[in-house]
Amino acid sequence: MRIKLDENLPARLAGYLTRLGHDTDTVPNEGLTGVDDARVWGVAQQEERFFITQDLDFSDLRRYAPGSHHGVLLVRLRDPGREALYLRVQSLFDVEQVEDWVGCFVVVTEHKIRIRRPGR
């Protein structure tokens, strides 16, 4: 799976996801830190990457309709500290079939996963 991590996620997630066999890149590694969200999104889509973020600017389901992109995972934790974010994303990739989320709009909280698939 080709993945791009937003700048608001722990950098060490990239190493973890790469060790799992994913082609992982980050917004900071590409020099896109602080760049407009539209540009970051455009680059992720141009590179055909599943985008992982906690930025609510990516929460509009009409704008990011399933099937219109390569996938987005919005992580919404009550206490989004670096360790909590790392552990939650790690747990998803450990137990879920995340490869099936390509093209989907996924929202994850501490206890729930909501997946909107293309055509639904």
Q: What is the pLDDT of residues 51-81, one digit of tens each?
A: 999 999 999 999 999 999 999 999 999 999 9
Nearest to 5 by CA among 63, 69, 33: 33
Q: What is the CATH number of domain 2-116?
A: 3.40.50
Residue 9, both tokens? 């996620």
What are the residue ranges spanned by the domains of the chain?
2-116
From residue 73, give the alpha-carbon distance in Å to each of 5, 16, 85, 93.
Answer: 10, 17, 12, 12
Which pLDDT value is given to residue 91? 96
Rounded Cα gap, residues 91 and 34, in angstroms: 28
Which pLDDT value is given to residue 55? 96
Tokens 């909590």 locate to 84
102 pLDDT above the threshold of 90: yes
120 pLDDT above the threshold of 80: no
Which pLDDT value is given to residue 119? 87
Split at pLDDT 50, 70, 90, the class of 105 is very high
Task: Give pTM, 2 decimals.
Answer: 0.96
Asked whether 17 and 3 are in contact (CB, 8 A), the reply is yes
